[in-house]
Amino acid sequence: MTTTAMSKERLLFNGADWDFPTLQRVHDACEEIALGELGLDVYPNQIEVITSEQMLDAYSSTGMPLFYRHWSFGKHFAHHEAFYRRGMRDLAYEIVINSSPCISYLMEENSATMQTLVIAHAAFGHNHFFKNNYLFQLWTDADGILDYLNFAKSYIARCEERYGEVEVERTLDAAHALMSHGVHRHAGKTKVDLRDEERREQERRVHEEQVFNDLWRTVPTGKKRTAADVGLEKRRLALGLPQDNILYFLEKSAPLLQPWQREILRIVRHVAQYFHPQRQTKVMNEGTATYVHYRIMNRLHERGQISDGNFLEFLKSHANVVFQPNYDDRRFSGFNPYALGFAMMQDIERIVTAPTEEDRAWFPDIAGQGDAMSVLRNIWADYRDESFINQFLSPNLIRQLRLFHLYDDPEQEEGILVSAIHDERGYRRIRRQLSREYDIGWIDPGIDIVDVDLAGDRRLLLRHNVTNDWFLQEADTKLVLQHLANLWGYDVLLQEVDSSNEVVKEHAASPHKPIQ
Amino acid sequence: MHIVDRRLNPRGKSLENRQRFLRRAKSAVQQAVKRSLQSRNIRDVLDGGEITLPIDGLTEPGFRRGEGGISDQILPGNRAFVEGDIIPRPPGRSGGRPKEAGEGDGEDGFRFVLTREEFLDVFLDDLELPDLAKRRLTETEEESPVRAGYSVSGSPSNIAVGRTTRMAMMRRIALRRPRIQEMEELRREIGECEDDEKRRDLEAKLNALTEKSRRIPYIDPLDVRYRRFESEPKPVAKAVMFCLMDVSGSMSEHMKDLAKRFYLLLYLFLSQRYKKVEIVFIRHTDKAEEVDEETFFYGPATGGTLVSSALAAMRAIVAARFDPAEWNIYAAQASDGDNSYSDGTTTGQLLRHEILPLCQYFAYIEVGEEDNDSSVSRSPLWTLYEGIRAEQVPLSMRKVCRRNEIFPVFHDLFQKRDAQSKVAP
């Protein structure tokens, strides 16, 4: 037997066509490398082949396979579709869901090489990250999410039947507007068990039905206590204030909400919470997946399981994925998380296996340690974007990317200051600043509910701590506050406070029921 | 690992969400559709198309930071700067803040694609056919047979052969009718058999089988099934549209183009409302003829002008093929307004007493040259028709000179009216 004949036999596929047995072979080959050689640890895989329309559909509803109905998903669908049809944007090659089994969507139009890339990337890279990163372990319930979404979908459909589409839509619109302020940012609450959550909702309802007694409504409430009676501190304590999870607060304390509306807030909150770790780990997650697919594809090629031609095809799309335009390039639109993540993973591999003197000084713990995979696996498990960059962005990479730091103070008439570049003096500052740009707590405006006068006029008081003169955008804030007031049922006041604790700006809203 | 093929899942999972979005965006979409029509060829209307929507009322607000604060940013690709450099801000930008990731798409004009159906729905939504219902619609319901399964009785011409043999086979299998091959086999065995005793056995067996197959016939009257029909009343909703056009020498290409656009719109509109729309093209010079579409729009013809000839031709065609009791009859006439002086009386008589009583609606558009100010001139035909219109008949008339006037005129003619008001001006 000649060598060519041998390698022909080893090839997983030939050309661009694929069928289901091919996918199976590809998956098994990737699995052998991922688990055997890279030591990854993954949820069981489920691979679903879908059409481009279904792909559009999936990422219009934030990538979830089943989701409740809402007009905004239709809007996003239309938006994506328009771009796609005009050829201005490619569809994502894959979508992967943090669930167990881990579901990866593959588009039918992909070539065999692309399917292999996607399987290596999503079914092993992302999958490993989902299963092992501490944020996902802490905040998400991969076993329960699909059941929970199913529950959410049918629950909201039932609500629409009972209370009308318009009412449900109003509630959902309001909840969506507050979605970014519907997550618990600080650990300490135990992880939610979504299946349990669904069961509890049913129990709550049964309980309410059992104990319902219309008589209670007619019981005299006695003398009204004045606001002075209830001490401010006591009141805050009772309501758990200050509270940065606005949706949670409304769900628990808004006086006028119907039980089903509270449940809808809870659903939106759970979905927001489920996606919260993904927001905090974009660079790491994509970096991990890209690094993993790169390793796997190279190994497949080395082992003669992918032909040279197909490997070239892979290299081309890989290069596209990790392309980072410079700031003055027309294509520049911020950092590409794939590029940054992949570059950092490769840089870490280099530091572990072939460190320079500089690396030894900067990274004494890992430099020259030798086993790149074990170091990377630990990093993937224990960090999020902010801490990851703060810890592992090396001078070498800063030089390679030629990073620089702009400081723009509008007060400064002359222009924008270049406050650090890729030199000895700049490394640490650039690293600290870049890591901050990935800190959700820093990017999202910090808004707390600080007080509410339950016995008095029931006005809800919120506070936005302004940093660096970044005030809230007026028009949007007004709309969100309107939603908030509609949910709360009474007036709402948002104060923007500067660093010296002085109120600089105020926004107010009163509830109303717009006629639809 | 588990592979699932989801491609055959029901399509259009997003349809509901899309429709909700459209419902919500309806007024904005309507505006946008109208705007897009002005810049669009009528043929393209048939294809649906891309719509740009302002996103007011479709925003999904969130707490976001506004402009104007102190900003820090890390960027890649420094070639020239050293620490401490001051870069002047580009003019016209207050904050000097480089664009943020994701801002690039620009949501100020929100574009998306409507399918043909969605587009037409929106496009024709606020239009209404005058007298859409035929006056005698309820009486002239038509019954048509529709398939309604099978029955055990019926006329021989309706025997459902497939179903009958299927029933027969089921029965034969259930009752274990001996198969013909089986009996052939036995006969052959008997023929070859040497041993007497065994032969008797076989013969007895064969007899039993023959007996059994006689008892269980191949096809039993019980098996026979007939196709069953039920007659279902169907309301008659048939429409015919007469396109009348003057093709005499005075009609320029531009005028014909205007007329054509008008006919297309009317056709589109009618076909939204009726299942089946017939179109009859009649062109006339000093004599009228019924022609096909191609000839109608593009066939060369010259001659004088006798409008009455077209009306007479229409009357004849209606009498021959379109019983006014069953058909909703619409007519659209395009002309530059010229008519032979001697023809005026005939035309008026014909229109008033013969044509209008037949029609649901008669639309007359007078086309003019692009640079013409037609509102000043009064053509012979216009004057004539105006006189008739005063009599409260389903006749309306408009003048059009420029392409972009076609849609507004059309819209004007067919806009929704109160139930009471007849086809007014």
What percent of chain A stands above pLDDT 70? 87
> Are residue A415 and residue A461 in the same domain, yes or no?
no
CB-nearest to A75 from B58, B98, B104 is B58
CB-nearest to A418 from B11, B22, B84 is B84
CA separation, residue A315 to residues A14, A298, A301, A312, A494 (Å): 17, 10, 11, 5, 52
Confidence of residue A329 (pLDDT cuts 50, 70, 90): confident
Give domain status of residue A362, yes or no: yes
This prediction has a pTM of 0.67
Give domain status of residue A249, yes or no: no
Interval A193-222: pLDDT, tens = 677 777 777 777 777 766 666 665 565 555
Reduce the secondary structure of B364-378 to three states and give it as a string: EEEECCCCCCCCCCC
Q: Write down the pLDDT at residue B76.
A: 93
What percent of chain A stands above pLDDT 90? 45
Interval B322-344: pLDDT, tens = 888 778 888 888 888 878 778 88
Interval A433-446: pLDDT, tens = 999 999 888 888 88
Number of CB pairs, chain A paired with chain B, less than 8 A apart:
262
B162 close to B425: Cβ distance less than 8 angstroms: no
CB-based contact, B21 to chain A, within 8 Å:
yes
What percent of chain B stands above pLDDT 90? 2
End-to-end CA distance of chain A: 77
Last residue of a domain, one of A440, A463, A484: A440
> Are residue B204 and residue B117 in the same domain, yes or no?
no
Q: Which has the higher per-residue pLDDT, A354 or A60?
A: A354
CB-based contact, B275 to chain A, within 8 Å:
no
The answer on pLDDT for A66 being more than 50 is yes
Last residue of a domain, one of B179, B203, B225: B225
> Are residue B301 and residue B195 in the same domain, yes or no?
no
Q: Which position has the token pair 């809007």?
A: A75
Burial of B271 (0-12, 13-18, 19+ CB in 10 A): middle
CB-based contact, A286 to chain B, within 8 Å:
no
> Are residue A420 and residue A484 in the same domain, yes or no?
no
> Are residue A359 and residue A398 in the same domain, yes or no?
yes
> Are residue A436 and residue A493 in the same domain, yes or no?
no
Give domain status of residue A264, yes or no: no
Which residue range forms the structural domain that includes residue B356?
A: 236-412
Interval A255-270: pLDDT, tens = 888 999 999 999 999 9
Confidence of residue A113 (pLDDT cuts 50, 70, 90): very high
> Are residue B116 and residue B162 in the same domain, yes or no?
no
> Are residue A399 and residue A453 in the same domain, yes or no?
no
The answer on pLDDT for B251 being more than 70 is yes
Interval A288-299: pLDDT, tens = 999 999 999 999
> Are residue B253 and residue B161 in the same domain, yes or no?
no
Burial of A51 (0-12, 13-18, 19+ CB in 10 A): middle
Interval B210-229: pLDDT, tens = 888 888 888 888 888 998 88
Average pLDDT over residues B235-263: 78
CB-nearest to B75 from A50, A74, A406 is A406
Last residue of a domain, one of B170, B200, B225: B225
> Are residue B261 and residue B193 in the same domain, yes or no?
no
Q: Write down the pLDDT at residue A33.
A: 95
Average pLDDT over residues A181-204: 71
Angle, helices A20-31/A282-302, rounded to nearest 10 degrees:
100
The answer on pLDDT for A383 being more than 90 is yes
Give domain status of residue A367, yes or no: yes
Last residue of a domain, one of B225, B248, B282: B225
Give domain status of residue B241, yes or no: yes
Confidence of residue B387 (pLDDT cuts 50, 70, 90): confident
Give domain status of residue A432, yes or no: yes
> Are residue A452 and residue A412 in the same domain, yes or no?
no
The answer on pLDDT for A490 being more than 60 is yes
Give domain status of residue A372, yes or no: yes
How far is residue A391's CA from residue B349's CA, in Å, rounded to a whole number? 95
A 162-191 residues with CB below 8 A of B? 169, 173, 176-181
> Are residue A414 and residue A467 in the same domain, yes or no?
no
> Are residue B216 and residue B240 in the same domain, yes or no?
no
Angle, helices A165-177/A474-488, rounded to nearest 10 degrees:
130
Confidence of residue A1 (pLDDT cuts 50, 70, 90): very low
Q: Which has the higher per-residue pLDDT, B257 or B174?
A: B174
Give domain status of residue B90, yes or no: no
Confidence of residue B75 (pLDDT cuts 50, 70, 90): very high
CB within 8 Å: B7 and A50: yes
Give domain status of residue A159, yes or no: no
CB-based contact, B3 to chain A, within 8 Å:
yes
Give domain status of residue B177, yes or no: yes
Average pLDDT over residues B60-84: 85
Our measurement of the distance from residue B22's CA atom to the centroid of its chain's CA atoms, rounded to an integer in Å, reads 20
What is the residue-averaged pLDDT of chain A? 85
CB atoms under 10 Å from CB of A497, counted, come to 15
Q: Write down the pLDDT at residue B97.
A: 42
Q: Write down the pLDDT at residue A212.
A: 63
> Are residue B157 and residue B185 in the same domain, yes or no?
yes
The answer on pLDDT for B245 being more than 80 is yes
The answer on pLDDT for A123 being more than 90 is yes
Last residue of a domain, one of A419, A440, A461: A440
User: How many domains would you assign to chain A?
Assistant: 2
The answer on pLDDT for A50 being more than 60 is yes
Last residue of a domain, one of A417, A440, A463: A440
User: How many domains would you assign to chain B?
Assistant: 3
> Are residue A452 and residue A379 in the same domain, yes or no?
no
Which residue range forms the structural domain that includes residue A487?
A: 444-507
Give domain status of residue A368, yes or no: yes
CB-nearest to A69 from B17, B75, B84 is B17
> Are residue B249 and residue B331 in the same domain, yes or no?
yes
> Are residue B403 and residue B260 in the same domain, yes or no?
yes
> Are residue B245 and residue B177 in the same domain, yes or no?
no
> Are residue B248 and residue B298 in the same domain, yes or no?
yes
Q: Write down the pLDDT at residue A107.
A: 87
* DSSP assignment of A227-281: TTTS-HHHHHHHHT-SBS-HHHHHHHH-TT--HHHHHHHHHHHHHHHHHHHHHHT
> Are residue B250 and residue B287 in the same domain, yes or no?
yes
